[in-house]
Structure 1
């Protein structure tokens, strides 16, 4: 009799269960072997669908084969619990062992197999429930269970084969845990990552094998990256030679060009180092993108590495940098962008790339990177194992959220020590992540640039001048300060900490404008398409040397390649002051210019604690600098000043206590519950009067359900800006679901995230259109301003879309 794993709807071809199990097992072994868990992964792979040998499942799938799907009919979800059989077998067979490692391995395999659909569960929950134990009850050892294991051993492999495989797997677990201890990694947290790594392998191999069958493909094509890297390096070297030959207009501009080339050469030389965790500390505008790419390509060639992954904090930087790299390398589909602004498609090949990250060069966000390890479900974690043997470059690493530092640091240590990755932490304001409570294990002699302090001195294009006053500047006195500077310079950039303050200052500045100055406002109240247009206009005006004042929030500080003659920065963390300065005199267009730090009275920071604390510690540095500038190499933006700032900032109890990701909803730190809390074992025994049944205590599901890289207390609103107005009209008139979804994809560039308080205010003013799709908010025309974006008072009598 044929036992079916899947069938193909188009031609009713059968995917035999034994073939599926053995193919998945082989794929799992291949991927697992990369980090020394090939036999553990093979064992999980061969047992994962053992439950499909049941009469119940076979009757169910044969019934589906014989029932034609109707148009638009949703495929019913299988109610057949096929995951628990393999888990039951491995747990009952090996968990009573006297060996602790055999107990742990059987628990790991039972968890991974049992929940290979739907995401890993908790070993123990907050209220001391043990979900896996319920799936492993003795009463589940019924006729169907024995039917499944008998058929499995008749057709797939022998019980002796499984015993031998388990023994080899146990040796692997012992070996990798010895390595964990030798490398001084956090044992329990690293074990949680290892379980997720295994889970990633199993679900990816299962889904990939099913995909290949459904598409009628033997295997996916395998790309030879060794030749690819060599070709890309030649194209990059051509670009560098082109930059060398580019003429300059000033002595300072020529010096900056030579320094950028020097940075590039140092990165190229450093590529000969062994795999490790390294620091690339380069001033803003120092050419980090191409220099780090040069390092990565040469390092990949030397060590036979398979992927280069850029992780950045903002989609605007990704779009800009990915476009530059794609153009220089001419790499087309060999570069994948994975972030929220990429229009998703239904094309199976694209969906597979996004789900698997099976592409040589990837540009993604810190959100997507961290979701790979900590988000709920199975979509993000599937790509975990694809990071093996990769080079990961974290640009603007100072933007890492404080609450994620411990999770990030120990994950990076795991990727380096266990997964053979090289990691580069890149920033002009390098945070000392190696000196926090749970540090990154930076390699010996980690600086890619041999003398960062000297480089910063040579690269200097802006002086930072504090202009703090008692009581702070009012809106009017800020505008006075701006116009006084404008009398001396053609272009002035003003960066504020809040949208409210930026809007108020913009309005007063515009009121005083006699018409000869172009005044711009930038904040996230403008949709991405609007911001892109404004930035493009500003760049054109700067090139033609027109008179400009730009008043912005901090969104302009990272990744926007723009250059003003002078900058005013509202008091913030010293890292933000440095990033703001990077938008001034960026290419050394003239003599050294100034960044002024001012304190603004009208900024309300009660919900922006990190900025408030940044202000506090920047004040400390400013005070120390005034007394002893030599301590900071006579530069407030020197690596010495930044390092001292981070020492104060990270040691502040209001910051350091947040690094383990405290979650107030459950009153726990996610780092702790992912490491397994011994007190939970005692709580279970106190509650039930029984001994806790497992060795492991990790709370995978609870942590995942409460994990958000960015606190999601905003709502997305579609706005009638530019082409967005037409697309909204199409959305409102669309009939089918597919048409609506297509419109929503196009509208990603015309969306603004607003806080709940702003949403409620707009809702009271009836500012939203009745939407044809539940949960989709559409702003009426009068509440989107051509300069300010989303506003809270209508600016026109006639409202469209009533």
Structure 2
């Protein structure tokens, strides 16, 4: 079934391009033609960038470890393609640029055509893409076109031109940065437009950053698709993470990758983890808000990062910490999904500026700040969670070894005033595994050890298999009536395959949310006014309107959406919803106000 979809992709893209060359020859001429030696030239550019970046780097154990990671990536690149590779590097170990270095060297040695960087969170994709653009800035200028194709829902339309919009249609470019959702849903898509890019994944290097974020309930179809890419289409796949999620095949995980098919890139992972051990871990167990605030004020006077499981908990602790009178005064910031992406970026920038200046700052956040965000605190607090999330939180503590020879302090706690909601069943399970299987069996000093991480994932993956019908909840490749039956050897096997059903069922994010545009700053207000004006004149919105709106939108679940109808105006036949009174319903510090919060009568005063 996968190969059939692959051939369909080839045919569809060829037909599309042939039609375009006849009907729109000018558009065809705008498509970039890449030189034969583009991978070689990109590798040279990246090596120069790395040499400049680390020439003046402080000589310490963290930077020495990062150099060791780069050397291992260079050495492992000589392996033949068509394999799985694992790149297991603790947070802050420099795996992003090192993995790209491996990919380009590996592509050059094996004649592969492109690198596809797949990232789970849109919150960090811009950070990585911008880093790549810096590395290839001179080469892009020399070629007269952008090398890095950033392809995801929140790409800034101000950066989008026809020259990079066209390669996004079929991924005809040497470096693509995209999301898990975009990549995997494209693999299982059935619409011609979405399938055009599939054949470009052949003879490529795929880097899956934060691979532990792959959803357990879809591991069977995901791993089967990746195996087809690797075994049948000569692709190399790099499983990149600080917490390798035990995806190899074993007795209680029969859908996994055979261990002999996975080549570790790091030669001595245990030694690397020991070198990059920059924090001490502590378990505060059950604790209420009052005691937690007291603990923070006593142990984190220089500032800290506090990560909660819900926006309500983050909002409550932000309010309580903001009300504290201490010397020197603390700046308390808030980060959550109740804030639009542009607002999140602004607050992160403020937090980094304060940290760099040495000013005491507490950032109260949800999981939005965990993976990939390059910020460091001397102390981090994390509400009960899976061990992988705890490790990600620890990666924001003493990230660059700046406290050496001292260590950062990371506290795990169970917030009694904010228990995990019943709706967050996966989080409840993950926190339970951490509490029962890890905290009860490992010392605090070993909570982030490779043994603890492996034990956690083995239990988490096994439990997921029990709950999700062999890691395939929607029944894509297993179950009573799978969309694709691997064991079907009948004459009419192709007629029984349900491509449309598989495309409908395969959803990386299984929730119904609705975006609401927040006119919270001048740029957002200007966009909202333009949308309203076009609606009055009966003029349609452009693609740029939709893309820019995502920078200023907050996603709300279906039940809240229904209750907010009197607070929003809908435009362009319901395609865009705008918050009518942001002065009342969007709080500068914490974002979109919960419906249960009373209105502020002063908000409407000029």
Instruction: Provide the TM-score with structure 1 as the length reference.
Output: 0.68
Gaps of 5+ in 2: 141-145
2:451 corresponds to? 640
Alignment of 1:692-707 (within 5 A): 696-707=495-506
Secondary structure in structure 2 of the residue aligned to 1:675:
coil
- Contact 1:724-1:750 within 8 A present in 2 as well: yes
Alignment of 1:265-664 (within 5 A): 265-275=71-81, 276-330=83-137, 331-332=139-140, 333-343=146-156, 349-435=163-249, 436-444=253-261, 446-468=263-285, 472-487=286-301, 490-514=302-326, 516-590=329-403, 591-601=406-416, 602-619=418-435, 620-626=437-443, 635-652=446-463, 657=468, 660-663=471-474
Give the deviation of 1:661 after TM superposition.
3.3
Give the deviation of 1:592 after TM superposition.
1.0
Give the deviation of 1:421 after TM superposition.
0.5
Secondary structure in structure 2 of the residue aligned to 1:380:
helix
Q: Distance in 2 between matches of 1:278 and 1:584?
A: 28
Distance 1:385 1:589, change over 3 A: same
Q: Distance in 1 between matches of 2:338 and 2:234?
A: 42
- Contact 1:271-1:298 within 8 A present in 2 as well: yes
- In the alignment, which of 210, 213, 226 is matched to residue 19 of structure 2? 210
- In the alignment, which of 519, 541, 544 is matched to residue 720 of structure 1? 519
Secondary structure in structure 1 of the residue aligned to 2:555:
strand
- In the alignment, which of 765, 768, 774 is matched to residue 574 of structure 2? 774
Distance 1:607 1:658, change over 3 A: farther
Distance 1:693 1:407, change over 3 A: closer
Secondary structure in structure 1 of the residue aligned to 2:364:
strand
Instruction: Provide the TM-score with structure 2 as the length reference.
Output: 0.90
Q: Distance in 2 between matches of 1:655 and 1:482?
A: 39
Give yes or no for the alignment of 1:785 onto 2:587: yes
- Contact 1:393-1:425 within 8 A present in 2 as well: yes
- In the alignment, which of 42, 51, 54 is matched to residue 241 of structure 1? 51
Q: Distance in 1 between matches of 2:133 and 2:330?
A: 37
Give yes or no for the alignment of 1:257 onto 2:63: yes
Return 708-717 or 434-443, whichever deviates more: 434-443
Q: Alignment length, in residue pairs?
A: 578
- Contact 2:217-2:465 within 8 A present in 1 as well: no
Give the deviation of 1:292 after TM superposition.
0.8
- Contact 1:769-1:778 within 8 A present in 2 as well: yes
Give the deviation of 1:443 after TM superposition.
4.5
Q: Distance in 2 between matches of 1:492 and 1:795?
A: 31
Give yes or no for the alignment of 1:754 onto 2:556: yes
Q: Distance in 2 between matches of 1:399 and 1:476?
A: 33
Which structure has more relative contact order (CA 8 Å, sep 6+)? It is 2
Q: Distance in 2 between matches of 1:509 and 1:675?
A: 53
Q: Distance in 2 between matches of 1:654 and 1:406?
A: 10
Q: Distance in 2 between matches of 1:379 and 1:497?
A: 38
Alignment of 1:20-169 (within 5 A): none
Based on CA coordinates, which of the two structures has the bigger radius of gyration? 1
Give the deviation of 1:459 after TM superposition.
0.7
Q: Distance in 2 between matches of 1:324 and 1:742?
A: 24
- Contact 1:768-1:778 within 8 A present in 2 as well: yes
Distance 1:726 1:616, change over 3 A: same
Q: Distance in 1 between matches of 2:198 and 2:13?
A: 9
1:159 corresponds to? none
Q: Distance in 2 between matches of 1:481 and 1:574?
A: 22
Q: Distance in 2 between matches of 1:322 and 1:395?
A: 13
Give the deviation of 1:263 after TM superposition.
0.5
Q: Distance in 1 between matches of 2:104 and 2:572?
A: 49
Q: Distance in 2 between matches of 1:696 and 1:194?
A: 15
Return 305-314 or 315-324, whichever deviates more: 315-324
Q: Distance in 2 between matches of 1:578 and 1:622?
A: 14
Give yes or no for the alignment of 1:797 onto 2:601: yes
Give the deviation of 1:498 after TM superposition.
1.2
- Contact 1:309-1:392 within 8 A present in 2 as well: yes
Gaps of 5+ in 1: 1-191, 682-691
